[in-house]
Structure 1
């Protein structure tokens, strides 16, 4: 049995129950295999664990810390509920990877604020554009390997997939092949083998946050290389 929450931890949980409800509704709209109530139940458990584990000296706010873990717990629950469903698994993968990028961006913003750094309006706009580019690239990577596009479409027609540019996808995977071995392995583990960041963190004996940071840095590197070649997975 877990130890009881302190008064401060209990207050954090109470102040962030609306956050759990909001995330549950967002996830339910994306992947309709669990009800909002079921997702809220999972999220509330994750919120309590977050309150117990949060380090107040951390540069990230509790809201940022809890948001990542609550949504991650919901995605894990949906993943367990839908084993072997290829399309559903890709949707979950997109949720997980784009959520990791959003959480990392929020933590970076919290760190900048804590250090007293203030961005100009132009810098904030460019930061938002870079986040959109990374998220678009993550979606592109979560689709079947560009070298197998025609077969994948024939096997499982998907209107969203048909809208994606097969040529750009192939170029993207060519850039992935040029990555350093460890970076290449991380991208393949997530986007080809369907490994979660939690699973990779356990396997590599590190934290989910570390895997998330590595993932974000690799996507940043890929987007910059794509732009240097005068193409991009998405327009900002």
Structure 2
């Protein structure tokens, strides 16, 4: 066997060993994500996607990386699962249409008033009862949670969870950077309680029940607040999604720079 062949064989053995050692990590990440997803999502699909991510991580990992393999693999596993979720949209098209309608109404109100759109005004313009509105907010919270800037056809979604830059070309990397900046600005412009829910959900990775305990409200109320934030963000990112590349070109409220508060939430 040549030196090159021996090296490739050792490299393959090393990758196989990394996969065996870190297979439990795939299950941990999958079940952690399942705590924040609808019951219709199959954990087996997430685990399968995660194993592919783990295999790719094992093949591509370089030992002189600053991050440990577990950290590196965790990013790739999670990214593979999120990619699977984006491809497997479990939400009916009617829900997507309703979310778009709500976001457009919110955008128009905020253009006209320069203030956060009020729930009562949104309901009035949509001709919805409080029960219908709250049900629509719950749908908005679960309708492709990972996508706020998807085109109307539901394709090419840009995710809250920004992709791993190692897998992006120069153009895609610039686009992701632009989305990240627009998203940070849009989240910073949300009402304080919506900012807090988004921070606890996406940064601290708490589930709705845990967030409810922090805020002192029910899980269903957290779901409504989350839905309000998703609809408002979609409205305020309209300019970015439509090619304006600027949050304010979407006509939403002016940018704020405040980060979500870690202090006591407002009741």
Give the TM interval when normalised to the shorter protein. 0.3 to 0.5
> Larger helix proportion, structure 1 or 2?
1
TM-score (norm 2): 0.41
CA radius of gyration, larger in = 2
